[in-house]
Amino acid sequence: MGISIQNVSKRFGDFIAVDGVSFEVQTGELVALLGPSGCGKSTLLRVIAGLETPDAGAVIFNGVNMNAMSARQRRVGFVFQHYALFKHMTAEQNIAFALNVQKRGKKEIAERVGHLIDLVKMRGYAGHYPSQLSGGQRQRVALARALAAEPAMLLLDEPFSALDLKVRESLVGWLRNMHDKLNVTSIFVTHDQNEAMEISDKIIVINKGRVEQIGAARDVYEEPSNKFVASFIGNINIIDAHLEGEAIFVHGTQAKLHRPAGYDAPSGDIVLLVRPEDIGLQHVAEGPHAIPAVVTGIRYKGSVTEVDLQLTDFSLTALEFSKYIWTVGEKVFVNFKKYNVFAVGDSHHAIRRQLEQLGYIE
Amino acid sequence: MKKGDRILMVLVLGWIGVLVLLPLSGIVREVWANGLSSLVELLGQPTALRAFMLTFWLTLGSVVVNTIFGTMLSFILVRHSFRGKVFLEGIIDLPFAVSPVIAGFMFIILFGPRGWIGSWFDAQNIKIIYAFPGMLLATLFVTFPFVVREVVPVLREYGIDQEEAAMTLGASRWQTFWKVTLPSIKWGMIYGITLTIARAIGEFGAVIVVSGGIINKTQTATLLIHHKFMDFDFTGACAAAMVLAAVSFIILIAMQYIFSKRKV
Amino acid sequence: MKENKSTPGGLVLRGITLSYIALLIVLPVIAISCKAFDGGIARLWQEISLPQALFSLKITLILALIIAIVNVITGTATAWVLVRCDFPLKREINAIIDLPFAIPTIVTGIMLVALYGPRSFIGAFMQNKFNIEIIYNSPGILIALLFVTFPFVVRCVQPVLQEMEKEIEEAAMTLGASPFQIFTKVIMPTLFPSVVTGAALSFSRALGEFGSVVIVAGNIPFKTQVAAVYVYGEIESSNVPGATGVSFILLVCSFAVLLLLNFIQYWNRRHEER
């Protein structure tokens, strides 16, 4: 079932939670709604489910406008952040709930429930109460319960946030497998970009109730359409620079970089956004535009080493994959293998402040 | 708000209005009808004043004794473990299950001149029942559960960490108790005391049985009301009832205020 | 849980406190139970088989049962309205619910006589128009009992309803349940233990109520004499066997209810482990 969200807005009193959001989801896609806490993604999900009514805009399933339909009528499977399992029912009874409500035959229910229990690998725990299950098990019961009624669409609200790291890691991949097996259109909400990038077909980045960018994981990571997306997804270094014609001058250095193809803005102050893994480190200068730097911090993380660098006017963090052992105080030369350029603009400082407050940048 | 909820709301508010609020109006009207003269007259009677004083002393006694024992019991229940603890927890609720008249009667049997314990006191010529001590015992019985029940959950939630911290910082057991433990269970205790006061003031059945209702000697405020009613002095009874109702109201307001403090 | 070393007293504490309880609570109950069997079981049976005694017990149990059932309905509805609806003076009305707990039972009796008595507006009206006597009759007792037991079910159900996550109902909704189905399959089962607790407490209280009933109902044998009033009458006439007999039966009933309550608490904890 294809979903079309058209210009949906929702406010709570003075607070605008969702502000004119539009996007499309193709049948069978697994889409992530990604954004920081409080950005309106959960509200948006609830609007799609029919648990909230939008103030403006339309939610369309397969060409049919759903605005007038209640949550009950929309045939949406919803998995809540804290599972919302019925505590007085066993896992089995929870899963059977939708079928009981529809008054299906006993045999049919037993068959379907059994099938789902095997699907989520809860055989042996079917008679347990939620209080007797672990977080990961409750999660799987919640999913099975939502799937029991064969919904046309699956909505998941931060399904992994309440779980331990290891459990989370295994369940994320499991969700993707489940999705591939059942091929049901799914939208899941998360603030964890790793989850979003790992399993989704498409990521919709949301901030302050608005869509920032829509694209596959690679697109969103490599070609962020604005500074927020660049800073929110993955780690980023932000460098002040000046664009003069075809050349970019990095403040405080002798570096001269090329204006990237496709960037059409006129000369002026700009910001360079460079991913840590796109910073190359050399022991000797290569060319007149090599940038000298001093190593100020080293964090060995097994497969990579994070290296803090101090340049004349600013600092950088680079990701090094070679097994070279760095020392603090060592002199090194820096070059940028890839970078994105943005105009400074009014929102620059506001975005920086927001990201600092969220703890995404120093 | 959904329509069904709205209808329900009207019905419920109506029920509360008729059941709870209306009776209040009856008594206010009765006293108002005679002006405040009945009230003034009541407060002028020495018997009435003594009745109120007796209620006061019984209430004070109950509060003091049951707060001390109630708090001690709370500690035992929350901090210690021993066989039969479940049994103990069940016993605490016992006074709730016993009719007040039966409660008073129990004490007559036990502490009366021929009772197991009373016979000893009788031999020493000490009057328990039909005297203040008996009334106090009966009041202690009916007010027993309140402080315990309110302190136990607060104590449980509060946990032992802060006390252990205090000990590592050098506080003695008593210091820890006074400076750390007691302040944290304070509001639970106060709420329990408020409930105790309300119950003690209002106690009737147990006290009328155990006291014999001897005017000026063993007549509490509630017994006074009863006596006046039986004597066909309805106006007097209403006046006295009004006083107690007013006190109850104040207690009710205090209860609401304290209850919200409890949930810190 | 080990004994906490920072609490002073330890064993002495335990000893004193337990003695207090033994003396004040346990012993009196044992004393009256033994006294009931003073003349043997035969004597006990004789006393409670007296028509007057039997009637008082019967009417008490029936009234208590009616009270419990009515309170289940009104109490649950009240808790629902208090938690789910918004209306002016909500905080004050919420406080009023506790009034029956705070007010002396005898004051309740006086209030009801003032309001519904033969000389009052309502009482006279009901008497003349419908020939219904409120005071000194069953309606009066019912009103008095309803008043004093009103808060029990409300206060038991209210916190449970408050704690109920909105998501549970939303989940049921997304799974296709109608509002009625949500109420019967999801909400009621969750509330059930607290409703039963409240009902049991109402029942127990109604069983032993004295102060308000003695004023409102008088003491008319075979008409308005509830068990507690009967016992009082027997005590006044120094008929100890009669008093102990009926007292014993009332105690047995109350303790049965108490056991039921404790059982519910225990059973409930099984489901709420984490």
Judge: C27–B117 Cβ closer than 8 Å, yes or no: yes
Indicate if B174 and B102 belong to the same structural domain.
yes
Domains of chain A, start order: 3-222 (3.40.50.300), 235-358 (2.40.50.100)
Spans of chain A below 70 pLDDT: 345-348, 360-362
Place of tokens 């209002």: B202
Please report the ipTM that was assigned to this predicted complex: 0.86
Mutate to test the interface with C, among A79, A101, A102, A116 (most CBs of C within 10 A): A101
Q: pLDDT (tens digit, 9 = 90+) per residue, A248-263? A: 888 878 788 888 887 8
B7 and B49 together in one domain: no
pLDDT at B144: 95
Cβ-nearest to A149 among C167, C175, C273: C175
Containing structural domain, residue B75: 36-262
Q: Quick one: which of A219, A216, A243 has its CA closest to A230?
A: A219
Same domain, B164 and B102: yes
Residues B45 and B5 in one domain: no
What confidence tier does B213 reach under pLDDT thresholds 50, 70, 90? low
Instruction: Assess whether B77 and B12 both reside in one domain.
Output: no
**Are B2 and B50 part of one and the same domain?**
no
Is the same domain home to B207 and B125? yes
Structure confidence at residue B193 (pLDDT): 94
Q: How far is C-alpha C142 from the geometric centre of its chain's CA atoms?
A: 13
Q: How many pairs of residues across A and C have Cβ atoms under 8 Å apart?
A: 73
**What are the residue ranges of helices labelled H in chain A?**
41-49, 91-101, 106-119, 135-148, 165-182, 193-199, 217-222, 227-232, 347-358
How many angstroms away from the CA of A350 is the closest CA of chain C?
35
B3 and B79 co-located in one domain: no
Question: What per-residue confidence (pLDDT) applies to A361?
Answer: 60
pLDDT < 70: residue spans in chain C: 1-9, 269-274
Q: Are residues B145 and B103 in the same domain?
A: yes
pTM of the predicted model as reported, rounded to 2 decimal places: 0.79
Q: Which of C24, C22, C23, C240 is nearest to B139 (CA)?
A: C24
Residue whose C-alpha is closest to residue A97's, from C191, C179, C173: C173
Q: Which residues of C touch B238 (CB under 8 A)?
A: 110, 114
Name residue B100's amino acid.
Answer: P
Q: Write phi, then psi, for A237 (nearest 5 degrees).
A: -105, 135
What pLDDT does A297 receive? 92
Tell me how close the Cα of C191 comes to any Cα of chain A, in angstroms: 10
Domain total in chain B: 2
The answer to whether the Cβ–Cβ distance between C175 and A88 falls below 8 Å is no
Handedness of CA A28, A34, A37, A39 (dihedral sign): negative
Instruction: Tell whether C271 is within 8 A of chain A (Cβ).
Output: yes
Tens-digit pLDDT profile for residues B134-174: 999 999 999 999 999 999 988 888 777 777 778 777 778 78
Q: Report CB contact under 8 Å: C171, A78.
A: yes
Q: Domain with B208 in it: what CATH number?
A: 1.10.3720.10
Q: Residue holding tokens 């045939």? A: A75
Task: Say whether both B28 and B117 belong to one domain.
Answer: no
Model pLDDT, residue B29:
75
In a shared domain, residues B29 and B141: no
Is C274 at the interface with chain A, CB within 8 A? yes
Q: Comparing B13 with B82, which gets the higher pLDDT?
A: B13
Answer yes or no: do B2 and B71 share one domain: no
pLDDT of residue A2: 87
